[in-house]
């Protein structure tokens, strides 16, 4: 498995994780206080999640082939804004950092100008800040386990983009291609899973998400490669406070 996070990124990731946990704990404490003061039902709940999975970039023009996908990894905070007092209808959102990419092979004349003379392989590693927005429906079973599904969209903004490039007999490592990546990504978000009580205040969640990117991830004026969108298949693991 390709190692995605270097030491600097790992350090930033840990800082982000601790900040998320602190924020969720503070917000949840406030919510519990509201409930204790007489509020009927929760209006919002927060949690933290990690999403391992697989990402693939799908070229849709001749002359470009996908040679492999990449390990997908995402982490961040979840927020459910309830639309009813039962908690069965909600707007699911949050904030997450996502790592993804793919290995693409371009024929000569395609790809970035710097490498167009030869067939070129790009090992792309991308990092996005993403905000999901979905309608979430849940039903509870007699055993206390909830079954949920969600349908919606997401917006992503690239904050880091590197490529290991093999062009002809030359190899270029960790080339920055952030300026050659489209500044916003968006697409369809589908998900389903279960949640179950862990304690009086903690609820575990397990599920699967699928993200189908609608936006061309690489700028055509720079890559001359038609449309290349990003799809992700993700395992959702998380906990609500």
| pLDDT per residue as tens digits for the range 91-129 | 999 999 999 999 999 999 999 999 999 999 999 999 999
Do the Cβ atoms of 74 and 66 come closer than 8 Å? Answer: no
Query: Dihedral (C-alpha) 112, 117, 120, 125: value to the nearest 10 degrees?
Result: -20
Indicate whether 207 belongs to any domain: yes
Residues 67-78, mean pLDDT to the nearest whole number: 96
Residue 119 lies in a domain: yes
d(CA 207, CA 195): 8
Q: Which two tokens stand for residue 47?
A: 């949690």
What does the pLDDT read at residue 144? Answer: 86
Evaluate whether residue 49 is within a structural domain. yes
CA-based nearest residue to 177, from 190, 158, 191: 158
- pLDDT, position 28: 47
pLDDT of amino acid 94: 98
The tokens 């002359």 sit on which residue?
Answer: 63
Nearest to residue 91, comparing CAs of 99, 80, 77? 80
Q: Structural domain of residue 33, as residue ranges? A: 7-240
176 found inside a domain: yes
pLDDT at 81 exceeding the cut of 60: yes
For all residues of the chain together, what is the average pLDDT?
87
Please check whether residue 1 lies inside any domain of the structure: no
Both structure tokens of 62: 């001749």
Q: Residue 15 pLDDT > 80, yes or no?
A: no
The reply to whether 2 falls in a domain is: no
Residue 14's pLDDT band, with cuts at 50, 70 and 90, is very low
Quick: pLDDT tens for 181-232. Answer: 999 999 999 999 999 999 989 999 999 999 999 999 999 889 989 999 999 9
Q: In angstroms, rounded to a whole number, what is the distance separating the alpha carbons of residues 77 and 238?
A: 9
Q: What is the pLDDT of residue 121?
A: 97
Share of the chain above pLDDT 70, in %: 83
**Which residue is associated with the tokens 């936006």?**
215
User: Is-contact 187 213, C-beta < 8 A?
Assistant: yes
Nearest one of 116, 131, 132, 110 to 228, comparing CA atoms: 110
Cβ neighbours of 178 (radius 10 Å): 13
Q: What is the CATH number of the domain that holds 209?
A: 2.40.160.20
pTM to 2 decimal places:
0.82
In this predicted structure, the answer to whether residue 6 has a pLDDT above a threshold of 50 is no
pLDDT value for 41: 65
State how many domains the chain has: 1
Q: What is the pLDDT of residue 24?
A: 46
| Residue 2 banded pLDDT, cuts 50, 70, 90 | very low
């Amino acid at each position: 498995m390709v190692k995605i996070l270097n030491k600097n990124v790992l350090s930033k990731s840990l800082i982000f994780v601790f900040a998320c946990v602190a924020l969720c704990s503070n917000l949840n404490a406030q919510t519990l206080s509201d409930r204790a003061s007489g509020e009927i039902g929760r209006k919002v709940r927060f949690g933290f999640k990690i999403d391992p999975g697989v990402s693939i970039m799908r070229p849709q023009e001749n002359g470009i082939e996908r040679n492999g996908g990449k390990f997908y990894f995402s982490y961040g905070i979840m927020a459910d804004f309830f639309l009813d007092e039962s908690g069965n209808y909600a707007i699911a959102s949050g904030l997450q950092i996502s790592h993804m990419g793919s290995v693409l092979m371009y024929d000569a004349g395609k790809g970035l100008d710097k490498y167009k003379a030869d067939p070129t392989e790009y090992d792309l590693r991308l990092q996005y800040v993403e905000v999901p927005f979905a309608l979430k429906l849940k039903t509870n079973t007699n055993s206390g386990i909830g079954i949920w599904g969600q349908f919606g969209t997401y917006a992503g903004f690239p904050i880091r983009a590197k490529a290991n490039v093999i062009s002809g007999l030359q190899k270029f490592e960790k080339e920055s291609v952030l300026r050659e990546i489209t500044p916003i990504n968006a697409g369809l978000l589908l998900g389903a899973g279960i949640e179950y009580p862990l304690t009086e205040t903690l609820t575990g969640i397990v599920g699967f998400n699928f993200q189908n990117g609608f936006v061309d991830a690489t700028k055509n004026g720079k890559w001359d490669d038609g449309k290349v969108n990003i799809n992700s298949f993700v395992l959702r693991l998380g906990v609500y406070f």
